[in-house]
Amino acid sequence: MMSREKMKNIDPLAELLKQELLDAPSAKFSDQLLHASMTSYRISYSKRYQKEERLGKVILAVLIFFNLMILVELNPFGADSALLIGVLASVLLVFGCSIHYLTQYPRAIIK
Amino acid sequence: MLFGKNRKDEDYYLKKAIGGKREGFEYLVATYQKLAYTLAIKICGNNEDAEEVVQDSFMKAFRALDQFRSAAKFSTWLYKIVYYTALTKKNSKRLETTKLAEDSGTESYLLDEKREISSLIQSDRKRYIDLALSRLGEEERSAVTLHYLGEKSISEIAEILGIGKSAVKMRLMRGREKLEQSLRSLLGNEIKDL
């Protein structure tokens, strides 16, 4: 079988057809198509990862619960109050960032 | 070269699109829309249906975008969707109009003749070639469009049309011969080089 490049070089029919027959959709339709394609991908992406998102949230909640349990066991009220505030702030920050990332990522992926 | 763009570029922009980047989508849509639209219009025969087919197909294809690692495979799959969606569209339209056409067989023949004559009168090269292409069978036309306009290989066309490689070669050969004959009768000396 001849290579496509070789065939193209010796085949005037290919050039003739290409010049005359290639239809281009309107600019308005191209914009619509771009928007439809992006939306379609975004929706399918969110649907596909919805279950994983929920599972992630549950795992995160369990981990945070056990961390708090450990914190209670360590009796932080008996320790320095500055250390307690620092630890609580860190826990809240990690929790907030994780929830924000998990909920926003599927929507934010299409910029 | 219109469609023989660098595969590496296509793969790069495919990855970008999978990552949700707008520029990736822009590149893929701009690269594939012309051939998809041409293929659809050659099967459906009008702009409105072709646009509908292309939009539906792109939406279906982009839904599964992240399952592809190579742009060549994605484009082959996209054109396959375009081809089958266009065929479905055409067949559903045909069913709607069969009843009307049954009573007017001679009339439609005369209309076709009239259309051909009016096309000739317009003295437009594109119309002659379009007319020559429309005289081919549906599968021959699709094979010729994908091969000559889309620069698709025999194996890619076989995958898109869902037929064997030898059948593609046969259709291309027959299509080329018929096209050459039609063009010779329509354009005369203009295409003596073919």
**Closest partner CB to B25 (pick from A5, A25, A34):** A34
**Is A17 part of any domain?**
no
Contact status of A32 with chain B (Cβ, < 8 Å): yes
- In angstroms, rounded to a whole number, what is the distance separating the alpha carbons of residues B36 and A68? 57
Catalogue all structural domains in chain B, each as residue range(s) with its CATH number: 1-103 (1.10.1740.10), 104-188 (1.10.10.10)
Instruction: Say whether B37 and A25 touch across the interface (CB within 8 A).
Output: yes
CB count within 10 Å of CB B142 equals 25
Contacts of A3 in chain B (CB under 8 A): none
Contacts of A43 in chain B (CB under 8 A): 63
* Residue span of the structural domain in which A67 resides: 50-111
Domain count, chain A: 1
**CB contacts < 8 A (A, B):** 108
For residue B148, give the nearest of B38, B30, B31 by alpha carbon: B38
Contacts of B144 in chain A (CB under 8 A): 17
What was the pLDDT predicted at B96? 67
Contact status of A9 with chain B (Cβ, < 8 Å): no
* Least Cα separation, residue B14 to chain A (angstroms): 13
- In angstroms, rounded to a whole number, what is the distance separating the alpha carbons of residues A90 and A1? 67
Q: What is the pLDDT along chain B (194 residues), one digit of tens a residue?
A: 444 556 788 888 988 888 888 999 999 999 899 989 988 988 888 888 999 999 999 999 999 888 888 888 888 989 999 999 999 988 887 666 655 555 555 555 555 665 555 555 445 667 777 788 888 888 888 888 888 888 888 898 998 888 898 999 999 888 888 888 887 776 665 555 55
Task: Pull the structure tokens for residue B89.
Answer: 């569209």
**Is A73 part of any domain?**
yes
**Closest partner CB to A21 (pick from B63, B65, B149):** B149
**Is A97 part of any domain?**
yes
- In angstroms, rounded to a whole number, what is the distance separating the alpha carbons of residues A6 and A3? 5
